Amino acid sequence: MTETASANEIRPISHRSTNDKILELVVPLIKAGIRVADIGAGEGFFSQLLGEHVRTKLGLEPRDVITASDIFPEYFRYPAIKCEKISPDGRLPYADASIDIACSLEVVEHVEDQFAFARELYRILKPGGLAIISTSSADPVHTSGHIDPVSYYYLAYQLRRAGFGSTSVEYDRFKTSARFLVVLCAPVIWIGNLLFRRRLNARKEDVATENAGILKDMWSLRMLTSRSVIAVARKWPDGLPSSI
């Protein structure tokens, strides 16, 4: 009986703590009329997590709030909503400006053309919408098997190039071993950061100024010790802050 229950359980493709953190970010934004897309949904773990919250806490039907998509929709197992197929060329199965919040958990590092993926997220979002994208920290333990591991710096750059007006970063959990290594290597990290910033300012001051916030995040203790990073990008309406 236990084995049957386990076999029927929807499995996450990303760490449970990542799903919980993104749920925490999304839940306060949910209300009637909001549309959330779970992109690269896998078996539907996050869709189920959000769907059951929507049903039990808000009294809404999951299908009225959530839509899912994946390259292999036949593996999707959460029956409350339908999973649409992502085209082989990477085009998402949504109309322009039709989604309020696009969530993508541990997917971008498996995408061959990440710039195109960022543009697709921008295309499907309504003005003022949010893209929430998680990826494993760029270390050898968590990047094996990934087509294109990406750091937060380059992910934020891709999102900015796609047209997003702002990006910020969140974290799911932190590695004790990484904290130890950061303390051990603190002098080297500090010197490396200092030299890098001086060189960038000397050669490309405009780039250094434009990306000052991202660079600050990249060298923070939280970034250096996190298991995963979660980029939050906003599509501003006409360059103005969003109402969401």
Shared-domain flag, residues 11 and 117: yes
| Residue 93 located in a structural domain | yes
Residue 32 lies in a domain: yes
Is position 45 within any domain? Answer: yes
Q: Is residue 244 part of a domain?
A: no
Summarised one tens digit per residue, pLDDT across range 20-38 is 999 999 999 999 999 999 9
What pLDDT was estimated at residue 178?
66
Domain region containing 138: 2-173+227-239
Let me know whether 136 and 75 are in one domain: yes
Residue 86 shares a structural domain with residue 196: no
Specify whether 155 is located in the same domain as 208.
no
> Cα–Cα distance between 126 and 159 in angstroms, integer?
15
Q: Are residues 59 and 8 in the same domain?
A: yes
Q: What is the pLDDT of residue 189?
A: 67
* pLDDT score at 2: 39
Structure-model confidence comparison of residues 239 and 50, the more confident one: 50
pLDDT digits 0-9 by tens, 185-244: 767 766 776 777 788 778 877 766 777 777 777 777 777 777 789 999 999 886 554 445
Using a cut of 0.85, tell me whether the model's pTM lies above it.
no
List helix spans (H) across the chain.
Answer: 2-8, 16-26, 45-58, 62-65, 114-124, 140-143, 152-162, 176-184, 186-203, 205-210, 212-218, 221-225
Q: What confidence score (pLDDT) does residue 191 get?
A: 74
| pLDDT tens figures, 134-168 | 998 655 444 445 557 788 888 998 999 999 988 99
Are residues 91 and 156 located together in one domain of the fold? yes
Residues 48, 169: one domain?
A: yes
- 114, 129, 163 from 243: Cα distances, Å: 27, 9, 18
Whether 52 and 119 map to the same domain: the answer is yes
| CATH number of the CATH domain containing 158 | 3.40.50.150
What are 70-112's pLDDT values in tens digits?
Answer: 999 999 999 999 999 999 999 999 999 999 999 999 999 888 8
> Are both 59 and 111 inside the same structural domain?
yes
